[in-house]
Amino acid sequence: MNRKLLTITLTLICCIQIALSQTPVVQTKFTADPAPLVYRDTVYLYTGHDDDLALGFKMKDWLLYTSTDMVNWTDHGAVAYMKNFKWANSDNGAWASQCVERNGKFYLYCSMPNAMGIGVLVADSPYGPFKDPIGKPLIKNSMEDIDPTILIDDDGQAYLYWGNPNLWYVKLNEDMISISGDLIKDSSFAKIKGSSDPFHYQEGPWAWKRKGKYYMAYASTCCPEGIGYAVGETARGPWKYAGMIMDGDPRSAGNHPGIIDYKGKSYVFGFDQTLRIKTMSQPYERRSVRVKELRYKADGTIEKLPFWTSEDLKGVGTINPYQNVKAVTMAYSEGVKTDLATDLGRVKPAENGGKTPKGMVLTTIHNGDYIKVRDVNFSKGVSALEVLVAALYGGQIEVRKDAIDGPVLGVVEITNKGEGDVWRTIKTPFKSLTGLHDLYFLFKGKNDLFYFDSWQFTGNQ
């Protein structure tokens, strides 16, 4: 099959799969190397960021998304940058990271290519701001110093693991920003020339402990990479190969696991490139984070999963429509992008005491674009919808129930009115509804329509 025909075939296959199967966690940016953290009642998902405007492979920052239901994710933008590490010799190379919490502090371990090493940033909040407390690499040993993962054992001892193509580990001191003892190449995973390699360890380790067992998942068998895992007797091994969580697939050369327990369920994150194949033709790294429910058998082994093509996850929470909901909170989107409100130079602050957004807002909104919000709980009915927007050319927001072509609940008219690009709150009467529904915000108009910050329904009195 020639390359042109192969590209067309893969595009058609992936478009069908996106329509019928689980979608990427994020559609507004290309994301990679997922590192989920459960803190209190929220999942904090830190990711790498493939710059979709670059002509090649470029990663300059680490992004953060949060969720309390595992289906709707809120975009918080970049929380750390290559420039946070003054010792790094490039602004390109924000490779895999992981954030952990200890004693009220948040430690973000970040890897960079070309032997720059593994650095650590610290913050008082999972949202940052993150700062470099040591001003140098925490690990700088060899070209293998990438893909950090951290496990804090029950006795309080923290371990840092990393490495491609070998697995390394070291003890961390209680301060989490210094090491104790030697760097150790794990002999369980060592590749012995001329012998079989049952582990097929490649890179991207992820360590965790469950019911007294130690687990190590990793990107397996390049390329394409699946997700394998091993089980250990201690945090230091020895490790025994336990099988594949997911086989590799030609739709993604790489993979990178991140595994959590949340609200009584377990989840595995990774990535593929179906969104790249759908939206662009350049053969660059343009990855998209995915997530599936993970299931354990009675003996502690993990049920093998198919590639990222199963049905959508079931939510483990709902959206409250009677409180302010950011427009960058969504389960799926088409066409739109996100950006910091402070970076929109054309937009003026709200007048007469009105609201001016902070954080991320919805941008590049055009005719036919939309966002989907899942599992919205209308317990009080509806009388009106209030949105915070800044008009460019203006347009409409059609709010539809349960499907992109579902019943229209109401239409918000957004006009410029000669005011320029000013943030305004618009309140519009809406049809009432009750119960649990998905909402589609469908945008209509010409040219660049508006910026969209947030929405909130008024219930029936």
Least-confidence region, from 45-49, 376-380, 393-397, 422-426: 422-426
Q: What is the pLDDT of residue 70?
A: 97
The number of beta carbons lying within 10 Å of the beta carbon of residue 177 is 18
Per the omega criterion (within 30 degrees of 0), is the bond before 283 cis? no
Residue showing tokens 């070209």: 143
12 band by pLDDT with thresholds 50, 70 and 90: very low
Name the residue with higher pLDDT: 253 or 36: 36
Q: What is the pLDDT of residue 346?
A: 64
Beta bridge partners of 160: 150, 170
Arithmetic mean of pLDDT, 98-111: 98
CA 22 to chain centre: 14
Residue showing tokens 């389960």: 331
Would you say residue 277 has pLDDT above 80? no
Q: Which residues, including other chains, have CB under 8 Å from residue 383's CB and lie 6 or more apart? A: 429, 430, 432, 458, 459, 460, 461
**Nearest CA among 439, 442, 450, 347 for reference residue 395:** 450
- Which domains are assigned to the chain? 3-294 (2.115.10.20), 325-458 (2.60.120.260)
Between CA 365 and CA 386 the distance in angstroms is: 18
Per the omega criterion (within 30 degrees of 0), is the bond before 223 cis? yes
Contact, 259 vs 268, CB < 8 A? Answer: yes
Between CA 360 and CA 353 the distance in angstroms is: 21
Mean pLDDT score across all residues of the chain:
90
Least-confidence region, from 47-61, 110-124, 401-415: 47-61
Q: Which residues, including other chains, have CB under 8 Å from residue 146's CB and lie 6 or more apart? A: 95, 96, 111, 112, 113, 118, 162, 163, 164, 203
Residue showing tokens 């091993």: 230
Secondary structure letter of residue 341 according to DSSP: G
Between CA 412 and CA 426 the distance in angstroms is: 8
Burial of 422 (0-12, 13-18, 19+ CB in 10 A): middle
Would you say residue 22 has pLDDT above 70? no
The number of beta carbons lying within 10 Å of the beta carbon of residue 316 is 18
285 band by pLDDT with thresholds 50, 70 and 90: confident
Q: Which residues, including other chains, have CB under 8 Å from residue 255's CB and lie 6 or more apart? A: 204, 219, 220, 224, 225, 226, 227, 246, 248, 270, 271, 272
Name the residue with higher pLDDT: 327 or 355: 327
418 band by pLDDT with thresholds 50, 70 and 90: low
Q: What is the pLDDT of residue 416?
A: 82
- CA 214, 289, 404, 391 dihedral sign is positive
- Per-residue pLDDT of 311-331, as tens digits, reads 678 999 999 999 999 999 999
21 band by pLDDT with thresholds 50, 70 and 90: very low
Q: What is the pLDDT of residue 54?
A: 80
Would you say residue 10 has pLDDT above 70? no
Q: Strand ranges (DSSP E) for 103-162?
A: 105-112, 117-123, 149-152, 158-162
Residue 192 backbone dihedrals phi, psi, to 5 degrees: -100, 120
Arithmetic mean of pLDDT, 342-366: 81
Instruction: Characterize the bridge pairing of strands 73-81 and 61-67.
Output: antiparallel
Between CA 25 and CA 220 the distance in angstroms is: 22
Tokens for 292? 């599936």
- Per-residue pLDDT of 165-196, as tens digits, reads 999 999 999 999 999 999 999 988 876 555 56
Q: What is the pLDDT of residue 460?
A: 87
Would you say residue 7 has pLDDT above 60? no
Residue 229 exposure: Cα atoms within 13 Å on the Cβ side? 26
Arithmetic mean of pLDDT, 4-19: 36
Q: What is the pLDDT of residue 249?
A: 86
- Per-residue pLDDT of 436-449, as tens digits, reads 999 999 999 999 99
Arithmetic mean of pLDDT, 273-290: 72
Instruction: Characterize the bridge pairing of strands 395-401 and 337-340.
Output: unpaired
Least-confidence region, from 59-63, 84-88, 284-288: 284-288
Would you say residue 81 has pLDDT above 60? yes
Q: What is the pLDDT of residue 436?
A: 98
Would you say residue 419 has pLDDT above 60? no
Residue showing tokens 């529904």: 437
Q: What is the pLDDT of residue 189?
A: 84
Would you say residue 279 has pLDDT above 90? no
Between CA 377 and CA 434 the distance in angstroms is: 8
Q: What is the pLDDT of residue 236?
A: 96
Contact, 289 vs 295, CB < 8 A? Answer: no
Would you say residue 101 has pLDDT above 50? yes
Q: Mark 353-366 as b/e (b = at least 16 C-beta within 10 Å).
A: eeebbebbbbbebb
